Chain A
Amino acid sequence: AQKVTQAQTEISVVEKEDVTLDCVYETRDTTYYLFWYKQPPSGELVFLIRRNSFDEQNEISGRYSWNFQKSTSSFNFTITASQVVDSAVYFCALIGVGAGSYQLTFGKGTKLSVIP
């Protein structure tokens, strides 16, 4: 069975603050892929990043960065200098390659509110 836990249900920050969204995952597959998606108030899920289980390098894309630590089964997401447009629900998700369907298993999401 696969599971993704996002312990933070809601976070509020003031604009320009940094914020980290936590994600902890469980899987029995040795090969797996981790994802982050953003769901703005409009409702459409937007892909942010994919990371495979063999690549533990951290990644930075503009104000976004991701910290993948296999030892703690975590894949945390940091937004630097947050902006109001970052307000959304963020989902961490997992695909275990053992199941051929490649279905995404999502966490419950973290609602981020950036206050101007």
Chain B
Amino acid sequence: DTGVSQDPRHKITKRGQNVTFRCDPISEHNRLYWYRQTLGQGPEFLTYFQNEAQLEKSRLLSDRFSAERPKGSFSTLEIQRTEQGDSAMYLCASSLLQGAPNEQFFGPGTRLTVL
């Protein structure tokens, strides 16, 4: 296992369509995070999982967004009825929680373009 992987790397969709992204974390990592990054900005937190439990969601995560992490392994992020404002890079990160917050390892991201 060489790192966090994300699929697809690029997604172009039309407004109103649904899209789903996948993240495979580093295998022994128990925490998985989703962030969104727009042009010229730093990543912004969306949600995170500890094992299979989704423990926090940002107010950025509208009800059109849903995330899952079945069995505490890979995670999916679905956006329903996409809007042009959803165009961004969606980043997944994983870490191993051992008391203090360790560094989060990021995947290459999925770049979403909504036409």
Residues of B within 8 A of A109 (CB): 40-42
The bracket for how many chain B residues form the interface is 20 to 34
- B101, chain A: closest CB distance, angstroms: 4
Residues of A within 8 A of B105 (CB): 47
CB pair B42 A106 closer than 8 Å: yes
- Decide if B8 is an interface residue (CB 8 Å cutoff): no
**9-residue interface stretch from A14-22, A66-74, A75-83, A93-101:** A93-101
CB pair B108 A50 closer than 8 Å: no
CB pair A35 B42 closer than 8 Å: no
Which of A43, A102, A108 contacts B101, CB < 8 Å?
Answer: A102
- B104, chain A: closest CB distance, angstroms: 6
With A97-B101, A102-B31 as known contacts, state yes or no: A44 contacts B43, CB within 8 Å: no
- Decide if A104 is an interface residue (CB 8 Å cutoff): yes
Smallest CB gap from B106: residue in A: A45
- B46, chain A: closest CB distance, angstroms: 9
Smallest CB gap from B43: residue in A: A106
With A43-B89, A106-B44, A108-B40 as known contacts, state yes or no: A101 contacts B102, CB within 8 Å: no
Interface members, chain B 80-98 (any A CB < 8 Å): 89, 91, 93, 95, 97
30 A-B pairs with CB atoms under 8 Å apart are: A33-B101, A42-B108, A43-B109, A44-B106, A44-B108, A45-B91, A46-B106, A47-B106, A91-B42, A91-B43, A93-B42, A97-B100, A100-B56, A101-B45, A101-B55, A102-B48, A102-B95, A102-B97, A102-B101, A103-B33, A103-B45, A103-B48, A103-B56, A104-B35, A104-B104, A105-B45, A106-B44, A107-B42, A108-B40, A109-B40
Footprint of A on B, CB under 8 Å? 31, 33, 35, 40-45, 48, 55-56, 58, 89, 91, 93, 95, 97, 100-109
